[in-house]
C-alpha cells in the first residue's frame, strides 16, 4: 500500500494519525493518507509567512522556469501517477492520463505568460498599474479532477508570486502528491508550497482563521463553498469559488442527432458523470424527441461498466457508497413523480460502488433531480416545443455554470447565448476547459475566475501609480 505524507517547509513528514484510501472498485484500502493536526498547519503557515516576501521578489522569469520544469517532471512520471489515480478514484486509465496531460498544459501555459502578466501596465505618461502577489493562498481541491484542478490553482498562484498551502482531497491523494513532488524537484524554494490532508472543517477553519492568509481558492460543493465564504468574510480574504453545476443541453430540431448523442454520452459518462460541467438535463425539441430518446438508449447501453483496471471498461465506479445511494434516491423520486425509466436505474450486483448509465424520460420539473445537482451517471430527458420554453426550462435551477446548445441555426444560437444563464455556453461541442480561458460561475455555481489571464489576475493585487513630471 502507498503511504502518503504531508509536505511541510520543504520536507515530507508523517502525521500522528492516518486514514485509509479506499478503492471504489474493490472497497479495499489501497493507501493511507496523513491527517494533519493544528501543529502541522501552524508549521505550514509559518513557512509560507517566512517565504512570502522572498518568493514575491523572485523574478517572474525564474518562477516561470520552475513551472516549466514541473510540467516536464509530471509528464515524465505521468504513467505511474495515472495508475495510482485509477486505483484510488476508479477512473479509467485513459481518463487519468488525459487529465494529467491537461494539468501539464496548465503549468506550461502559466509558465509562458508569467512574465507578461507580471509586467506593469503603462496607461499613459502619468499613470501606471503594478501587479503584486496577493499573498498567502489557501487552496482546496476535490477528488474528482485532482490533477487538473490542483494545477489550475497552484500554477497561476505560484507564477504570480504567492505562497500556497494546498489542502488536497483525502479520497484521491496521488495527483496532488505527484504535483507537489514535481514542484519540489523543479526547484520551488522551501516553504513556498505546503501540502496537507485531514479533517476538512478543521483545516479550513484553522487556515482561514489566520490573518496571514489573504486568499482562498476552492472547487467543490455549493454548500461547502458558502461555508468557506462565510469564514473568509471575517478576515476579508479574497475568494475564488468554483462550485456545483446542473448543466442543461438544448437539442433543437435541426441538430444532427447521431453525433450529438455520441458526444453527449462520451462527455456525460466520463468518470461516471462526477463532474460539475457534465450534462445532466437534456431538453429536446418535440419533433425529434422520440428519435433522440431511442438513439441515446442504444448508445448509452453500449457503455461497459466495471473496474477501471479492466482494459475494455469505459466507465468505472463512483467514488464512494454515497454516489449509488444518491442515484437511487433521485431515480425513485423521479419515477414516483411521473417520469419513465428508459435505461439503468438499479445498482450493479457486485462489489464496488457501481451505478450504470441511467436515463429517465419525461421528467417533471417537480422531480428532485431537476433542481439538485446529480453528480453521477444519470440523465433527465424532457421535450419542449418552443425556444422560449427551452430557455425557461434550462434556467429553472439556482446553478449557473455550463450549458450546451445543439443547433445549426445562427439565429437560434444568438438568441440562446444571450438568454441562457451561467458562465459558459458551448455550441455544438462538448469540451473540457482549456488553460487559456477563464472558467466562472454565477449564482450557486460560485464567483471569481479560474484559468486564463483573468484567473492569473485573481492571484494579484493591483496598485495604481499616479505621477506628475519626471
Q: Are strands 127-133 and 121-124 parallel, antiparallel or unpaired?
A: antiparallel
> What is the distance between the alpha carbons of residues 130 and 196, in angstroms, rounded to a whole number?
32
Q: Are strands 213-219 and 136-140 parallel, antiparallel or unpaired?
A: parallel
Q: 262: closest CA among 221, 210, 300?
A: 300
* Grid cell locating 252: 433543437
Q: Could you tell me if 155 and 110 are in contact, meaning their C-beta atoms sit under 8 angstroms apart?
A: yes
Q: Which residues are catalytic?
A: 242, 276
Q: Bridge-partner residues for 350, per DSSP? A: none
Q: Could you tell me if 406 and 252 are in contact, meaning their C-beta atoms sit under 8 angstroms apart?
A: yes
The DSSP annotation for 205-228 comes to: HHHHT-TTEEEEEEES-HHHHHHH
- Helix (H/G/I), strand (E/B), else coil: 278: coil
- Helix (H/G/I), strand (E/B), else coil: 33: strand
Distances (CA, A) of 30 to 25, 49, 171, 238, 316: 11, 35, 11, 37, 16
Name 296's Cβ contacts closer than 8 Å, sequence gap at least 6.
261, 264, 265, 282, 342, 359, 379, 381
Distances (CA, A) of 193 to 181, 294, 390, 425: 10, 51, 47, 35
* Grid cell locating 362: 419525461
Q: 178: closest CA among 7, 433, 22, 320?
A: 7
What length is written for the chain? 470
Q: Could you tell me if 369 and 330 are in contact, meaning their C-beta atoms sit under 8 angstroms apart?
A: yes
Amino acid at each position: 500500500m502507498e503511504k502518503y505524507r504531508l509536505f511541510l517547509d520543504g520536507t515530507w513528514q508523517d502525521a500522528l494519525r492516518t486514514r485509509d484510501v479506499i478503492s471504489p472498485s474493490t472497497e479495499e484500502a489501497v493507501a493511507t493518507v496523513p491527517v494533519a493536526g493544528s501543529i502541522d498547519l501552524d508549521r505550514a503557515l509559518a513557512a509560507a509567512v517566512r517565504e512570502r516576501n522572498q518568493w514575491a521578489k523572485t523574478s517572474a522569469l525564474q518562477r516561470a522556469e520552475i513551472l516549466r520544469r514541473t510540467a516536464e517532471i509530471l509528464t515524465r512520471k505521468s504513467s505511474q501517477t495515472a495508475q495510482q489515480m485509477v486505483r484510488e478514484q476508479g477512473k479509467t486509465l485513459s481518463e487519468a492520463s488525459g487529465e494529467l496531460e491537461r494539468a501539464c498544459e496548465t503549468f506550461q501555459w502559466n509558465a509562458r505568460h508569467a512574465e507578461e502578466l507580471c509586467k506593469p501596465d503603462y496607461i499613459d505618461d502619468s499613470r501606471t498599474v503594478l501587479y503584486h502577489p496577493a499573498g498567502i493562498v489557501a487552496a482546496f481541491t476535490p477528488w474528482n479532477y485532482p490533477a487538473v484542478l490542483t494545477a489550475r490553482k497552484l500554477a497561476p498562484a505560484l507564477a504570480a508570486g504567492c505562497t500556497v498551502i494546498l489542502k488536497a482531497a483525502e479520497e484521491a491523494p496521488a495527483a496532488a502528491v505527484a504535483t507537489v513532488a514535481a514542484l519540489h524537484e523543479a526547484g520551488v524554494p522551501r516553504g513556498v508550497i505546503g501540502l496537507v490532508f485531514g479533517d476538512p472543517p478543521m483545516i479550513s477553519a484553522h487556515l482561514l482563521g489566520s490573518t496571514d492568509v489573504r486568499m482562498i481558492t476552492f472547487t467543490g460543493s455549493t454548500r461547502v463553498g458558502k461555508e468557506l465564504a462565510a469564514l473568509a468574510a471575517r478576515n476579508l480574504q479574497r475568494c475564488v469559488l468554483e462550485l456545483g453545476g446542473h448543466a442543461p443541453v438544448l437539442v433543437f430540431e435541426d441538430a444532427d442527432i447521431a453525433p450529438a448523442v455520441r458526444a453527449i454520452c462520451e462527455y456525460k459518462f466520463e468518470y461516471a458523470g462526477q463532474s460539475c460541467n457534465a450534462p445532466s438535463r437534456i431538453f429536446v425539441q418535440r419533433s425529434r424527441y422520440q428519435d433522440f430518446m431511442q438513439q441515446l438508449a442504444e448508445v448509452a447501453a453500449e457503455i461497459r461498466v466495471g473496474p477501471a483496471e479492466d482494459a475494455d471498461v469505459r466507465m468505472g465506479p463512483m467514488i464512494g457508497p454515497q454516489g449509488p445511494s444518491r442515484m437511487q434516491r433521485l431515480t425513485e423520486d423521479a419515477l414516483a413523480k411521473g417520469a419513465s425509466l428508459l435505461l439503468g436505474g438499479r445498482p450493479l450486483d457486485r462489489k464496488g460502488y457501481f451505478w450504470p448509465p441511467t436515463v429517465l424520460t419525461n421528467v417533471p420539473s417537480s422531480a428532485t433531480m431537476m433542481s439538485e445537482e446529480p453528480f453521477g451517471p444519470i440523465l433527465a430527458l424532457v421535450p419542449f416545443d418552443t425556444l422560449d420554453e427551452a430557455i425557461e426550462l434550462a434556467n429553472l435551477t439556482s446553478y449557473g455554470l455550463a450549458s450546451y446548445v445543439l443547433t445549426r441555426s445562427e439565429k437560434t444560437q444568438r438568441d440562446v447565448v444571450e438568454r441562457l444563464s451561467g458562465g459558459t455556453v458551448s455550441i455544438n461541442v462538448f469540451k473540457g476547459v482549456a488553460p487559456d480561458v477563464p472558467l466562472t460561475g454565477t449564482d450557486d455555481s460560485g464567483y471569481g475566475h479560474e484559468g486564463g489571464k483573468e484567473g492569473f489576475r485573481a492571484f494579484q493585487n493591483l496598485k495604481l501609480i499616479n505621477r506628475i513630471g519626471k
